[in-house]
Amino acid sequence: MKIGRDHELARYIEKRIIKDRYSPDAVIGEIQAKGIEFEASICTKTLYNYIDKEVFANITNKDLLVKRKRKKGKYNRVGIAHNNLRGTSIEERPESIKKREEYGHWEMDCVVGRQGGSRAALLVLTERSSRKEIIRKMPDKKQESVQKVLDGLERKKGSGFYEEFKTITVDNGSEFLNWQELERSLRKPGQQRFKLYYVHPYSSWERVTNENANKMIRRFIPKGTDIGKLSHRDIQQIEDWMNNYPRRIHGYKSAIEMAA
C-alpha cells in the first residue's frame, strides 16, 4: 500500500481527521489544492478504502463525523405556500441572489441547546457565496437577543456593515418576526440597514446553506449540549474552524479565502 511507505503522510492524515476534525475528502483536497508534497499520493476514494480496512493505527470509521454513504435528506418542496407575516417573502428576493454571484447575502438561524438546560442559544449567520460564518451566543432565543446581536455587528463594523450585509434570509421562527426592528439601522436612524426575506413555512431547503452550516456546528455542539456552559472563546474557535475549513465547492479554498 502506498500509505505504508509514507509515514509522514499517514501522520498528517491522522492529525487532520482526529485533531482538526477534517473529512477524508477535505484532507486530500487540501493537499492537492495547496500542493503539499509527500512521498506517496492517494485519492479520496483510496483514503476511504484504507479507513474501511483499518489500515491506519489511529483512525476508524467511528472517527468520521460524516459518513461517505450517508443518505441525502429529503426536502418537501412547497409549491404554493404563504407566510403569515407582513415581512417580505423569498418570492420577492431578486433572482441574482439565488445565483450566489455577489457577496453580502446571508442566511440566518438559531441553534438551541438541550431542553431543561439554560435558555442560551446561538445565532448563526451564513454568507451564501463564500459560506463565511458568524456565530454569536445569546442568553435566549428571543427577538430582543437577535436584534442585540445585529445591532452589535452594525456598531462594530461601522460603514462597512452595509456592504457586507445586503440581505438576510430567515425562517418563520418567532425570534425573527419583528422584521421592522431587525431591518432598522442603529447608526442611521430612519434608514434600512439590510433587506430581510422570509422563506416559506416548512421549507428548510430554501435556507440550505444555513442548514448545512448548522450540521457542521453540531460536530462540536451535539444535540443535548447546554449552550449556556460554552464560553465565548469556545464559540469563536468553532467559527474560526468553519471559516478556515477547505471546501470542495470552492476548490478546497476556505470561506475566509473566498471572502477576501
CB 166 within 8 A of CB 105: yes
Instruction: Identify the architecture of domain 88-259 in CATH.
Output: 2-Layer Sandwich (3.30)
For residue 260, what pLDDT is reported? 84
For residue 128, what pLDDT is reported? 97
Distance CA 22, CA 242 (A): 10
| Residue 247: strand pairing partners | 253
Q: Record the cell numbers describing residue 258, joined without a space.
A: 473566498
Helix (H, G, I), strand (E, B) or coil at 197: strand
For residue 85, what pLDDT is reported? 53
For residue 207, what pLDDT is reported? 94
| Residue 127: strand pairing partners | 106
Span between the terminal Cα atoms of the chain, in Å? 40
Cell numbers 431547503 correspond to 205
User: Who's near 213: CB < 8 A, 6+ residues apart?
Assistant: 124, 126, 131, 133, 242
The b-or-e profile of 23-55 (16+ CB within 10 A means b, else e) is: bbbbbbbbbeeeeeebeeebebebbbebbeeee
Distance CA 223, CA 219 (A): 10
Distance CA 260, CA 256 (A): 6
Distance CA 147, CA 140 (A): 12
Domain boundaries, the chain: 2-63, 88-259
For residue 223, what pLDDT is reported? 87
For residue 82, what pLDDT is reported? 44
For residue 75, what pLDDT is reported? 45
For residue 77, what pLDDT is reported? 47
Question: Going residue by residue through the chain (260 aa), what tens digit of pLDDT does each one get?
Answer: 788 889 999 999 999 999 999 999 999 999 999 999 999 999 999 999 999 999 998 899 888 876 544 445 554 444 444 444 579 999 999 999 999 999 999 999 999 988 877 899 999 999 999 999 999 999 999 999 999 999 999 999 999 999 999 999 999 999 999 999 999 999 999 999 999 999 999 898 999 999 999 999 998 999 889 999 999 999 999 999 999 999 999 999 999 999 98
Closest CA to 171 of 131, 214, 228: 214
Closest CA to 75 of 212, 222, 213, 257: 212
For residue 79, what pLDDT is reported? 41
For residue 181, what pLDDT is reported? 96
For residue 66, what pLDDT is reported? 62
For residue 84, what pLDDT is reported? 44
Q: In the chain, helix, strand, coil percent, each to 5?
A: 45, 15, 45
